[in-house]
Amino acid sequence: MNKLILTLVISLSLISFNRFELKSDFKLIGEWEGTDKNDVGYFTFDKEGYAYIKFGTDLLGGKEFIKDGKKFSLSYKVDYDKSPITVDLIFTELETERQLVWPCIIDVLENDRIMFARGSNGIRPENFTDYDFIILNRIK
């Protein structure tokens, strides 16, 4: 019985250690694909700090894009030191510099697979059980 408990404790420790190692090496940069309510969507996070979101034929993001006749940019900030990892998607109206922030969280399942949840009303989710989330797979 003691050997079984010891084996279980060691196994769980190794799993936790591997997961920590994975998170410390993880970077969000790249193109990600996910399915939400049968619609395929894409998120791209570039090295310069800009994000792009594509659902269907709608493409938002980058240094400059036009929505409803106004110019916007979409940038992002990541805090890898928090648990879960936090991501802010920042929409900036270029003429007025007004900003809208989508507070998000991610959990690294594998280096190329994450859980992504977006808060609402400016409130960041604390976990993935109380919020809708999407599984994203890195494709580039």
In the chain, what percentage of residues exceed pLDDT 90? 66
* All domains in the chain, ordered by first residue: 2-138 (2.40.128.640)
Residues 139 and 29: beta-carbon distance below 8 Å = no
Which residues are bridge partners to 40 per DSSP? 35
What is the structure's pLDDT at 37?
Answer: 78
CA–CA distance from 68 to each of 60, 62, 94 (Å)?
A: 12, 16, 13
Sequence-ordered strand ranges (E) for the chain: 30-36, 39-45, 51-55, 58-67, 70-79, 85-93, 99-110, 113-118, 133-138
Residues 106 and 80: beta-carbon distance below 8 Å = no
The per-residue pLDDT for range 52-95, each reduced to its tens digit, is: 999 888 899 999 999 999 999 999 999 999 999 999 999 999 99
What is the structure's pLDDT at 102?
Answer: 95
Q: Cis (ω within 30 of 0) for the bond into 125?
A: no
End-to-end CA distance of the chain, in Å? Answer: 47
Which helix (H) or strand (E) segment holds residue 22: the answer is helix 2-25
- The reply to whether the predicted model has a pTM over 0.75 is yes
Could you write out the DSSP letters of every residue in 99-130?
EEEEEEEEEEEETTEEEEEE-BTTBPPS-SSS
What is the structure's pLDDT at 61?
Answer: 96
How far is it, in rounded angstroms, from Cα 52 to Cα 74? 7
Which helix (H) or strand (E) segment holds residue 16: the answer is helix 2-25
What is the structure's pLDDT at 132?
Answer: 80
